[in-house]
């Protein structure tokens, strides 16, 4: 075992999980309640993450979006793991909301709140940029496929049709910020010289620098707040009746999905940029997203099972993410 790599992994992972632990401690002491978490989530969702993603995407070259290792392979891995989970659900006789939760739990990753800090700690600004592209082009498919599964299994309550739910979910500040960033990149590329430099008037450059500095500050503010909120929001709900299903879905999320992602990149994109490979695997290895629980509560889908899945995957990721980090540091 390479002790230097182990130390690198600890430096990357420990601060992220420590902040989440601090959030739980503050919640236990009564200093961080549901109202605080609700405001933090609103602030991060509507301002900090859109600012972070727009700023990171807008600074890219347009050709950087055509990254098979970062976009195509994770989507292919998502589809393969979803197919496996649907087959298992059929063989086990799972139906309705439980089947939907079982399947979407195998891929719906917290690639934003947990993923961004990990990628930034691991790779610096290049990691932030890659994580932004992943969130722009891959994360929307978590939402899309999740809602399609809910419709496929005939799950959920309420009068809103599945198509309306999908449209509402996809038209969100994070995705809109990514689209805006891509538009800025398209415009900027029209002023790019042969050597790759941008030939822009000084007022435009100075305005872009000032705006970028502001957005960077807003974005950086949100990540530790989000981690505090996640830690405070994790509450254990018993679901002992489904320990077998829980083992399957959490195992697929933390082990199978990153393993398939890594294998596909190494097999189909052998010349992949190490930062793209590392970012894709790290984000695939993150625990279940809090959004799973929020949507389950809204639609009445196996709230106890999803809550247990969320806290178990988060707890186990303290062990599995450093292992994956150690693996990718070897490439």
* Structural domains of the chain sorted by starting position, each given as residue range(s) with its CATH number in brackets: 3-328 (1.20.1530)
Question: SS in 3 state form for the chain?
Answer: CCHHHHHHHHHHHHHHHHHHHHHHHHHHCCCCCHHHHHHHHHHHHHHHHHHHHHHHHHCCCHHHHCCHHHHHHHHHHHHHHHHHHHHHHHHHCCCHHHHHHHHHCCCCECCCCCHHHHHHHHHCHHHHHHHHHHHHHCHHHHHHHHHHHHHHCCCCCCCCCHHHHHHHHHCCHHHHHHHHHHHHHHHHHCCECCCCCECCCHHHHHHHHHHHHHHHHHHHHHHHHHHHHHHHHCCCCCCHHHHHHHHHHHHHHHHHHHHHHHHHHHHHCCCCCHHHHHHHHHHHHCCECHHHHHHHHHHCCCHHHHHHHHHHHHHHHHHHHHHHHHHHCCC
Top-confidence residue, 47 or 106: 106
**Length of the chain in residues, anyone?**
331
pLDDT at residue 165 greater than cutoff 60: yes
pLDDT at residue 169 greater than cutoff 80: no
Contacts of 226 (CB under 8 A, 6+ apart): 40, 41, 44, 48, 49, 112, 113
| pLDDT score of 236 | 63
| pLDDT score of 284 | 96
Q: What is the mean pLDDT of residues 195-205?
A: 69
pLDDT at residue 57 greater than cutoff 90: no
Top-confidence residue, 236 or 49: 49
The Cα 271–Cα 205 span in angstroms is 34
Least confident interval from 73-82, 88-97, 198-207, 216-225? 198-207
Quick: pLDDT tens for 99-130: 999 999 999 998 888 888 899 889 998 898 89
Q: What is the mean pLDDT of residues 268-291?
A: 92
pLDDT at residue 59 greater than cutoff 70: yes
The Cα 177–Cα 157 span in angstroms is 30
| pLDDT score of 161 | 64
Is 150 within 8 Å of 96 (Cβ atoms)?
no
The Cα 276–Cα 253 span in angstroms is 20
| pLDDT score of 323 | 93
| pLDDT score of 40 | 83
Output the average pLDDT for the chain: 83
| pLDDT score of 91 | 93
| pLDDT score of 55 | 84
The Cα 215–Cα 49 span in angstroms is 10
Q: What is the mean pLDDT of residues 87-91?
A: 94
The Cα 291–Cα 231 span in angstroms is 14
* Integer CA distances (angstroms), 317 to 8, 13, 228, 324, 330, in order: 17, 10, 16, 10, 20
* Integer CA distances (angstroms), 124 to 10, 128, 297, 328, in order: 16, 6, 36, 15
Task: Identify the band that residue 80 occupies on the pLDDT scale cut at 50, 70 and 90.
Answer: very high
């Amino acid at each position: 075992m390479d002790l230097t790599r182990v130390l690198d992994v600890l430096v990357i992972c420990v601060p992220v999980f420590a902040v989440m632990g601090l959030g739980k401690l503050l919640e236990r002491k009564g200093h961080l309640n549901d109202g605080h978490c609700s405001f933090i989530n609103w602030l991060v969702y509507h301002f900090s993450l859109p600012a972070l993603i727009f700023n990171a995407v807008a600074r890219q070259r347009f050709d950087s979006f055509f990254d098979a290792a970062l976009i195509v392979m994770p989507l292919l891995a998502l589809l393969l793991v979803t197919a496996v989970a649907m087959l298992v659900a059929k063989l086990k006789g799972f139906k309705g909301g439980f089947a939907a939760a079982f399947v979407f739990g195998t891929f719906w990753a917290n690639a934003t709140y947990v993923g961004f800090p990990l990628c930034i700690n691991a790779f610096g600004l290049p990691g932030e940029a890659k994580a932004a592209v992943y969130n722009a082009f891959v994360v929307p498919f978590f939402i899309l496929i999740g809602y399609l599964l809910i419709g496929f299994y005939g799950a959920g309550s309420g009068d809103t049709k599945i198509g309306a739910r999908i449209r509402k979910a996809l038209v969100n500040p994070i995705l809109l910020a990514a689209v805006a960033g891509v538009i800025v990149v398209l415009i900027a590329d029209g002023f790019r010289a042969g050597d790759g430099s941008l030939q822009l008037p000084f007022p435009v450059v100075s305005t872009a620098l000032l705006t970028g500095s502001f957005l960077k500050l807003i974005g950086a503010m949100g990540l530790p707040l989000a981690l505090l909120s996640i830690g405070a929001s994790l509450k254990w709900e018993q679901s002992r009746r489904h320990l077998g299903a829980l083992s399957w879905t959490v195992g697929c999320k933390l082990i199978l999905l990153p393993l398939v992602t890594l294998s596909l990149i190494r097999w189909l994109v052998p010349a992949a940029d190490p930062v793209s490979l590392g970012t894709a695997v790290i984000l695939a290895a993150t625990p279940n997203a809090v959004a799973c629980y929020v949507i389950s509560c809204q639609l009445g889908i196996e709230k106890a099972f999803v809550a247990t899945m969320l806290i178990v995957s988060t707890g186990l990721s303290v062990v599995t993410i450093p292992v994956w980090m150690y693996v990718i540091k070897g490439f």
